[in-house]
Amino acid sequence: MIAGIGIMLLTFVVMEVVAWAMHKYVLHGFLWSLHKSHHVPHKHAFERNDLFFAFYGTLAMLCFIFGHGSLWFLFWIGVGISLYGFAYFVIHDIFIHRRIKLFRKTANVYLKALNMAHKVHHKTQGKEGSQSFGMLWVAPKYFRLANQSVQKRNKRGSVHH
Protein backbone atom coordinates (compact mmCIF):
# COMPACT_ATOMS: atom_id res chain seq x y z
CA MET A 1 0.00 0.00 0.00
CA ILE A 2 2.80 2.45 0.89
CA ALA A 3 4.59 1.63 -2.38
CA GLY A 4 1.34 2.27 -4.25
CA ILE A 5 0.86 5.66 -2.63
CA GLY A 6 4.47 6.52 -3.50
CA ILE A 7 3.85 5.51 -7.13
CA MET A 8 0.67 7.58 -7.15
CA LEU A 9 2.47 10.69 -5.81
CA LEU A 10 5.39 10.24 -8.19
CA THR A 11 2.96 9.85 -11.10
CA PHE A 12 1.18 13.06 -10.06
CA VAL A 13 4.51 14.97 -10.08
CA VAL A 14 5.61 13.39 -13.37
CA MET A 15 2.25 14.37 -14.90
CA GLU A 16 3.15 18.04 -14.42
CA VAL A 17 6.33 17.48 -16.44
CA VAL A 18 4.40 15.47 -19.06
CA ALA A 19 1.66 18.13 -19.23
CA TRP A 20 4.25 20.89 -19.66
CA ALA A 21 6.06 19.04 -22.46
CA MET A 22 2.80 18.01 -24.18
CA HIS A 23 1.49 21.56 -23.97
CA LYS A 24 4.66 23.17 -25.32
CA TYR A 25 5.68 20.66 -27.99
CA VAL A 26 2.50 18.82 -28.98
CA LEU A 27 -0.42 21.19 -28.34
CA HIS A 28 1.53 24.19 -29.60
CA GLY A 29 3.04 21.90 -32.23
CA PHE A 30 1.42 19.32 -34.50
CA LEU A 31 -1.88 19.18 -32.56
CA TRP A 32 -2.41 22.95 -32.58
CA SER A 33 -5.52 22.38 -34.72
CA LEU A 34 -7.22 20.93 -31.61
CA HIS A 35 -5.63 23.18 -28.99
CA LYS A 36 -6.23 26.51 -30.74
CA SER A 37 -9.90 26.31 -29.70
CA HIS A 38 -8.64 27.03 -26.19
CA HIS A 39 -6.76 30.18 -27.22
CA VAL A 40 -9.49 32.00 -29.11
CA PRO A 41 -12.53 33.66 -27.54
CA HIS A 42 -15.74 31.64 -27.81
CA LYS A 43 -19.14 31.35 -26.20
CA HIS A 44 -19.69 27.59 -26.34
CA ALA A 45 -19.28 25.34 -23.31
CA PHE A 46 -16.89 22.83 -24.89
CA GLU A 47 -13.74 23.19 -26.96
CA ARG A 48 -11.96 20.81 -29.31
CA ASN A 49 -9.14 21.08 -26.77
CA ASP A 50 -11.33 19.15 -24.28
CA LEU A 51 -10.55 15.99 -26.28
CA PHE A 52 -7.24 15.83 -24.42
CA PHE A 53 -9.19 14.97 -21.25
CA ALA A 54 -10.46 11.91 -23.12
CA PHE A 55 -6.88 10.88 -23.95
CA TYR A 56 -5.68 11.08 -20.35
CA GLY A 57 -8.93 9.57 -19.08
CA THR A 58 -8.48 6.61 -21.42
CA LEU A 59 -4.87 6.21 -20.30
CA ALA A 60 -5.94 6.18 -16.63
CA MET A 61 -8.80 3.77 -17.37
CA LEU A 62 -6.40 1.33 -19.09
CA CYS A 63 -4.12 1.51 -16.05
CA PHE A 64 -7.09 0.62 -13.81
CA ILE A 65 -8.18 -2.23 -16.10
CA PHE A 66 -4.74 -3.81 -16.39
CA GLY A 67 -3.47 -2.82 -12.94
CA HIS A 68 -3.91 -6.08 -11.08
CA GLY A 69 -1.78 -9.12 -10.35
CA SER A 70 1.83 -8.65 -11.39
CA LEU A 71 0.94 -5.30 -12.99
CA TRP A 72 -0.47 -3.86 -9.72
CA PHE A 73 1.65 -0.71 -10.07
CA LEU A 74 -0.42 0.31 -13.10
CA PHE A 75 -3.43 0.78 -10.83
CA TRP A 76 -1.53 3.37 -8.79
CA ILE A 77 -0.27 5.08 -11.94
CA GLY A 78 -3.92 5.34 -13.00
CA VAL A 79 -4.79 6.89 -9.64
CA GLY A 80 -1.96 9.44 -10.04
CA ILE A 81 -3.11 10.35 -13.57
CA SER A 82 -6.71 10.66 -12.34
CA LEU A 83 -5.73 12.89 -9.40
CA TYR A 84 -3.73 15.12 -11.71
CA GLY A 85 -6.71 15.28 -14.08
CA PHE A 86 -8.97 16.27 -11.19
CA ALA A 87 -6.49 18.94 -10.06
CA TYR A 88 -6.25 20.19 -13.63
CA PHE A 89 -10.04 20.43 -13.90
CA VAL A 90 -10.39 22.31 -10.61
CA ILE A 91 -7.44 24.66 -11.10
CA HIS A 92 -7.47 25.22 -14.85
CA ASP A 93 -11.10 24.94 -15.85
CA ILE A 94 -12.88 26.10 -12.69
CA PHE A 95 -10.44 28.46 -10.94
CA ILE A 96 -8.54 30.02 -13.87
CA HIS A 97 -11.04 29.93 -16.75
CA ARG A 98 -14.15 29.97 -14.55
CA ARG A 99 -16.00 27.48 -16.73
CA ILE A 100 -18.00 26.78 -13.58
CA LYS A 101 -18.42 29.83 -11.35
CA LEU A 102 -17.30 28.56 -7.92
CA PHE A 103 -14.36 30.75 -6.93
CA ARG A 104 -14.03 34.43 -6.16
CA LYS A 105 -10.84 36.44 -6.43
CA THR A 106 -8.18 35.21 -4.06
CA ALA A 107 -5.44 36.71 -1.92
CA ASN A 108 -3.51 33.42 -2.01
CA VAL A 109 -0.14 34.23 -3.59
CA TYR A 110 0.30 30.79 -5.18
CA LEU A 111 -3.16 30.77 -6.80
CA LYS A 112 -2.74 34.36 -7.93
CA ALA A 113 0.66 33.48 -9.45
CA LEU A 114 -0.89 30.51 -11.28
CA ASN A 115 -3.59 32.76 -12.65
CA MET A 116 -1.08 35.41 -13.77
CA ALA A 117 1.14 32.86 -15.51
CA HIS A 118 -1.85 31.42 -17.34
CA LYS A 119 -3.02 34.85 -18.45
CA VAL A 120 0.47 35.51 -19.85
CA HIS A 121 0.21 32.18 -21.68
CA HIS A 122 -3.10 33.23 -23.26
CA LYS A 123 -1.84 36.70 -24.14
CA THR A 124 -0.79 35.20 -27.47
CA GLN A 125 -3.64 33.65 -29.43
CA GLY A 126 -1.36 31.98 -31.96
CA LYS A 127 0.66 28.80 -32.00
CA GLU A 128 3.97 30.64 -31.47
CA GLY A 129 5.13 33.01 -28.76
CA SER A 130 3.35 31.64 -25.69
CA GLN A 131 5.03 31.28 -22.29
CA SER A 132 4.20 29.35 -19.10
CA PHE A 133 3.13 25.93 -20.29
CA GLY A 134 2.77 24.20 -16.93
CA MET A 135 -0.30 23.94 -14.75
CA LEU A 136 0.97 23.66 -11.16
CA TRP A 137 4.57 24.86 -11.45
CA VAL A 138 4.90 28.63 -11.69
CA ALA A 139 8.05 30.60 -12.51
CA PRO A 140 9.38 32.67 -9.59
CA LYS A 141 8.68 35.98 -11.37
CA TYR A 142 4.93 35.29 -11.12
CA PHE A 143 5.23 34.66 -7.39
CA ARG A 144 6.94 38.05 -7.04
CA LEU A 145 4.22 39.77 -9.09
CA ALA A 146 1.44 37.99 -7.21
CA ASN A 147 2.99 38.86 -3.86
CA GLN A 148 3.28 42.52 -4.88
CA SER A 149 -0.36 42.50 -5.96
CA VAL A 150 -1.52 40.95 -2.68
CA GLN A 151 0.58 43.44 -0.67
CA LYS A 152 -1.00 46.38 -2.55
CA ARG A 153 -4.43 44.90 -1.99
CA ASN A 154 -3.74 44.44 1.73
CA LYS A 155 -2.64 48.07 2.03
CA ARG A 156 -5.95 49.17 0.48
CA GLY A 157 -7.78 46.89 2.92
CA SER A 158 -9.91 45.10 0.32
CA VAL A 159 -8.79 41.50 0.67
CA HIS A 160 -11.32 38.80 -0.23
CA HIS A 161 -10.70 35.33 1.19
> Residue 21 belongs to what domain range?
2-156
Position with higher pLDDT, 94 vs 22 = 22
Report how many domains make up the chain. Answer: 1
Q: How far apart are the C-alpha atoms of 8 and 1, rounded to whole Å?
A: 10
Q: Which of 88, 142, 85, 83 is nearest to 110 (CA)?
A: 142
* Arithmetic mean of pLDDT over the chain: 85
**Percent of the chain at pLDDT exceeding 90:** 34
Number of H helices, E strands in the chain: 6, 0
37 within some domain: yes
100-146 pLDDT per residue, tens: 777 777 778 888 888 888 787 777 766 776 777 878 888 889 889 88
Q: Is residue 22 in a domain?
A: yes
Given a cut of 90, whether residue 95 has pLDDT beyond it is no
Cα–Cα distance, 145 to 9 (Å, whole number): 29
Q: Quick check: is 161 in a domain?
A: no
Q: Dump pLDDT digits (tens) for 60-79.
A: 999 999 998 999 999 999 99
Q: Is residue 128 part of a domain?
A: yes
